[in-house]
Every structure is written in C-alpha cells, then in structure tokens.
Structure 1
C-alpha cells in the first residue's frame, strides 16, 4: 500500500534518513519503533511532504506519492502529528467542521467520530486550549478520520498521556483496526505498539535494521536491548 524505497531525507543540511526502505501493507498496522532521534518522525514527515525526499521513491497504491502535504492528504493519507496541531483558538466543533467541509462526502462524519470519541461530543463548545492532552489527541485523530483516509499514520499518539487515557486510545485504534483501516504507528510505548501491530519495523540511524512480527520482537530480547533499549 505505502512503499518507501531507498528514501533519504533530513532537515536543511542535516541528513536523517539514509536509503530507508519499508512497506506498509493494506489492511494491516505497521508499528515503526526505535530510540529517540532514530528517524521515525522524520520518516512520517517525509511521507507527508513536510520534508523533501532527497533521493529514493515513495509510492501509495502503486502510484508515486505527490510531494505536497495537501496532495498527500487528498491521495488518502491521514496524519496525526506528534504535536497534535489542533487549532487552539477554535472550538472542538470548529476544528471538526474545517475537516468535514474540506472532505465532504467522506464515509466519516462528525456524528461518526463523536460516536467513536463520545468525550468530544461533550466538549463541542470548548476551545482547544480548554482540552486535556487526551482530549486533544482524540480531536486530532477525529479530524484525520474526517479526511476519509485509506491509510492513517500516527506519530507518538500516547506521548504525555495518563495510563487510563492511553488505554482508551488503544481501544479506539483497535476498533479502527477491526474495521479494516490501514495504519502506520510510530510509538515509544513498546507494549502499546506491539499489541496493535501486525508488522513491526525498527529504525536506527535513519535505516531499517529489523523487521518482523510483534511476537518475534517480543521474543527477541537481544534486538529489544540493542535497538530499543527496552
């Protein structure tokens, strides 16, 4: 579905990814793991066109992925950034309306995302700055779903959240997985990621150094220590 082939990328003169190749398959969840600074978030930003591809190729459903973020979104990829990036001066409803109106005709509606995240329904008139971290994360995911993505990519969705909220986010993502939504998940929480994933790829120094199943990485203690510091 999403294929990166020998992709190099970075920030300004600093190169972060070095000939990175990885594939996310349709109908499955790919967890991308690695230490801080390994290149995980850079990989997602490069896919989304937020960073330029210096070399290599990125394809989605067999077609070369456009290079601009709005074109990538239009192609069917929803992005939940690590920073969430909701509009703090707008209400929950206004944040959702922006995506809903831009992607009218989507299978996802405001009513449907509120059914998935009932808490948002209770906070519709609240501004972004009045939301807890967990509520902001729910809003960021809901907004991405309103774009009717065929692939949802999430960057560190549990960062800074209380354990009870982490479990709620896990349950909702599992529900999306059971519904057949393809996902790419960058996550530091090893248990969270491997319980959701069908496939696992580990990044170190801008390259893929390990691939396998969740069961295989859970059993490979040496790889955990070497590449993840678990």
Structure 2
C-alpha cells in the first residue's frame, strides 16, 4: 500500500533520514518503534508532505506522492493524526467534525459512524476544543481523520500524556479499526501498546530502518529492544 524507498529528509540544513526504506501493507497495522530522536516523526511528516523529500520516492497504492502538498496527500487517501493533535480549539466538536466531513472522500465514515465509535464526542458536540480533556482531544483528532475516509490512517504517539484508562480506550478503538480492515501506521513509545496492535513492526534508528519483523519476534529479541528501543 505505502512504499518508502531510500528516503532522505530533514529540517533545513539538518538531515534526519538517511535512505530510509519502509513498507506498510494494506489492511495491516504497521508499528514504527524507536528511541526519541530516531526519525519516527520526521518519517511521518515527510510522508505527509510537511517536510520535503530530498532523495528517494514515496508511493501510495502505486501513485507517487513526492512533491505533493499536504492537502493533496490527504485527498489521495491518508488521514494523519499528529502527536500535537492539532484540533481547532476555537471551534466546537461538531464544527471540527463538520469541517473534516466536508473535505472527506465518500465512504463508511460519517458523522454518525464516528460518534458511534467515540460516543463521548456525541456528548460533547457543543463544547469547544479547548474545553476537552486530553483523551477527548485524541478521540476528536482520530474521528476527524476518519471522516476523510482514508485508505491509510497514520497516528503519531496517540497515547502520549493520557491516563491509563484512556490508553485502554484508545487501544480498544484501534483494535476495532484493525478488525474492520483499516490500514494503519502507528508510531508509539509504549512498547506493549504498539506490539499488541501491530501486524508488522519496523524499528527506526539514526534515520534508517534497522530492523523489521513481527510483534512476537521483537518481544523475544532482547538485543534489539535494548540497543534500539532502550527497553
């Protein structure tokens, strides 16, 4: 589904990715793991066109994404939930969702179906974004991305700063999406959370993919965990 071949990218004069190669399969959850500063978020921003591709090629379902603007990449079928969530704090929950729905592709995800997935949002429709808890903001960011009816959903650190009970809720909702066949790329520091959801795991270190395998393989590889994850 998504192929990154020899990607180099970074910020200004600072290069972060060095020939990174990664693939994410259709209908599968691909977890990207690595230490802080390894290049995980840079990889996602490069996929989304928020950082330029200096070298290499990115393809979604065979179509080249290099050089496209972020809105064009979203329209091509990628829903992105950044670590910062980036909801519109001055808008209500309903307005945040309606804005996304008006720009989305046709598909199964509608205002009604995202509220079915996240009932709490249905109770908070008239509340402003700034009135939501961290967990509610994460639900809203995910619901907004789903309203684009993406072929691929990308999430950057969805459990960051959330209470354990909310982490469990987010896990359950992602498991529902996984069971429904949604293709997902998940960047996550929580090793147990990520490996419980993933079909495939890629470890990023020093701007490159240094290991790939299954959740069971990485759970049983203490050397990889210690060297590249600090677990």
Shift in Å, 1:85: 0.1
Match in the other structure for 1:63: 63
Instruction: Measure the CA separation in 2 of the matches of 1:182 and 1:110.
Output: 20
1:94-140: CA deviation from partner (whole Å, max 9, x where unpaired): 00000111226332101100000000000000000100000000000
Match in the other structure for 1:191: 192
Match in the other structure for 1:120: 121
Instruction: Measure the CA separation in 1 of the matches of 2:187 and 2:143.
Output: 18
Match in the other structure for 1:209: 210
Number of equivalences: 230
Instruction: Measure the CA separation in 1 of the matches of 2:25 and 2:122.
Output: 33
TM-score by length of 1: 0.99
TM-score by length of 2: 0.98
Matched, 1:53 2:53: yes
Match in the other structure for 2:81: 80
Match in the other structure for 2:153: 152
Instruction: Measure the CA separation in 2 of the matches of 1:136 and 1:81.
Output: 12
Query: In 1, are the aligned partners of 2:75 and 2:105 still within 8 Å (CA)?
Result: no
Match in the other structure for 2:111: 110
Instruction: Measure the CA separation in 2 of the matches of 1:11 and 1:104.
Output: 31
Alignment root-mean-square deviation, CA: 0.7
1:55-103: CA deviation from partner (whole Å, max 9, x where unpaired): 0000010111152100100100000000000000000000000011122
Matched, 1:90 2:91: yes
Instruction: Give the SS at the match of 2:107.
Output: coil
Any stretches of 5+ residues in structure 2 without a counterpart? none
Any stretches of 5+ residues in structure 1 without a counterpart? none
Instruction: Measure the CA separation in 2 of the matches of 1:104 and 1:2.
Output: 19
Matched, 1:12 2:12: yes
Correspondence list, 1:163-174, <5 A: 163-174=164-175
* Change beyond 3 A, Cα 1:104–1:19: closer
Instruction: Give the SS at the match of 2:54.
Output: strand
Query: In 1, are the aligned partners of 2:82 and 2:156 still within 8 Å (CA)?
Result: yes
Instruction: Measure the CA separation in 1 of the matches of 2:105 and 2:111.
Output: 11
